[in-house]
Structure 1
Amino acid sequence: MFSVPPIIQIVGYSNTGKTTLITYLIKHFQQSGRRVGVIKRDGHDHEWDQEGKDTRKFRDAGAPLVAIQSPTKMAWFEQPPLSLPVLIERMHQAGAQLIIVEGFKTASYPKLLLIRELSHLALLDSLTNCRGIVSWFPLEDQGLPVYSIEQPQQVAAFAESLF
């Protein structure tokens, strides 16, 4: 088994503020000197590569590994997709000191659940290792710490305490 950096999952339904919270956490942890990696689950299988571009032509021709690099960034397309543990290991090998995972609800890493409506609490029944809730409204005791979406600094401090 490989060693991994600290990992926190951010889970919840669409439009609950996951991206906004993750953006805050990235800035917070980067400012504290950690190199942050982020892995996002695309549950809709959107096509990221553009039709007609060379990289797409290479993939359409059957290349299972295609990379593109510019002076400031690079992207890697790989088929079939890798498992979350392998993605985490690769990100760690690339220098990530902390990894934020958006989605992958069935994975077992420490999670924060974002809820925008009371009905979203039902998601707790299917989650493992949920450590806290980030809510858009005041919430009665759920047996887990509850944080307001409007106080991301408290969420960041709690997330850091999980490492």
Structure 2
Amino acid sequence: MPAGPKMLLLAAAAIVVAALPTEAWAAVACAGVVLLAYLASGVGVRELGRQVWGLRWIVLVTAVGQLIFLGPEPALANTVRVVAALLVAALLPLTTRVEDMLDALERGFAPLRRAGVDAERAALLLAVTITTIPVLARLAAEVREAQRARGVRPSLRAGVVPFVVLSLRHADQLGDALAARGIR
């Protein structure tokens, strides 16, 4: 599927997921749709498992918070809805080249030029944002692996500083690369 329709389908899926009721059947429906999306895209169940594992802390925080304030059924439904939206969103960079996303975004933003929006710059901003998320996930994994290699038990407190340093270094390199291409 071309990048433009794929992004519109993703946006529609996110809206539908957000509009679902907080009932158990909605959680089952979301899980089924996500499974079908990963199978139909050719990415597969193994990648779905990796994506779910990457979201484990979001799942935990969301589920616990919802459970405390809303009860079991709404907690399950809301947590699965959030995770489903994130998993479907993760399919976009897994199945679409950045260049294709950038072109589609530029075409989509073109009508906003009349309102003074720089379509190329806005598209580049969104494309950089979309592609930076997997980079940050990889950096977090590298910090955890480095901690394990040193015999340090991975922890949030011990991993924050190295992760922030690596993230800022990546941001500086990205900024330098954009500046070298004449983009401010």
One fold, TM greater than 0.5?
no
Q: Per residue, is there more helix in 1 or in 2?
A: 2
TM-score by length of structure 2 reads: 0.25
Larger RCO (CA within 8 A; separation ≥ 6) = 1
